[in-house]
Amino acid sequence: MMITKPNWAGRTLAGKSAAFAALAVCGLLGSAAVGGASAARAQGAAPAGCTGTASATWISIDVQGVRSAAGEIALTFYPDNSRRFLMRNSSLFVARVPAHAGTTHTCIFVPAPGVYAIAVYHDANGDHNLNRSGIGFPTEAYGFSNNPTTFVGLPAFRSVRLNIPRAGLNTHITLKYP
């Protein structure tokens, strides 16, 4: 696992990724849940293999709908600040984990309990970029915390905010392929 600064903001449209704006116009986003069985582990230590800078707070993430084991799943964590969401060099960190076909399970340490936004993409070729077509549409799968449904533009920041009040929560993010 590797933690890096994001490299997927790319072209901008009013400060946001044009690629995500274009896909969101197509209504290609889904739904997520936090809680469940992992909450029972909240009082215990983080699972083996939890990645990132160790802290007392961690979250289990299931990235669903992964079509192949090629490359990595990149999970970008943003602070609870709508002006920083999807902006170049505005994330807290990017975690990269090997992709697994079907569902990629991972555990990520977060700095502290709080509200975050998570943007995910399947970096199938491992180049650390969300690849785009000539007209700016992503050519790699993507998703967001809470998998908001949008019809025009990017998802509203309020729809991707994810409260992580304690360690041990679980969330599911479903990838959408172009």
- Cβ–Cβ under 8 Å, residues 140 and 123: yes
Beta bridge partners of 169: 59
Structural domain of 170: 2-174
H/E element, 160: helix 157-160
Identify the CA nearest to 121 among candidates 13, 35, 23, 15.
Answer: 23
- Cβ–Cβ under 8 Å, residues 7 and 129: yes
State the total domains in the chain: 1
Mapped to the 3 state alphabet, what secondary structure does 3-61 carry?
Answer: EECCCCCCCEECCEEHHHHHHHHCCCCCCCCECHHHHHHCCCCCCCCCECCCCCEEEEE
Question: pTM to 2 decimals?
Answer: 0.76
pLDDT tens string, the chain, 178 residues long: the values are: 444 444 444 333 334 444 343 333 333 333 334 444 344 344 568 888 899 899 999 999 999 999 999 999 999 999 999 999 999 899 999 999 999 999 999 999 999 999 999 999 999 999 999 998 888 888 999 999 999 886 655 788 999 999 999 999 999 999 998 8
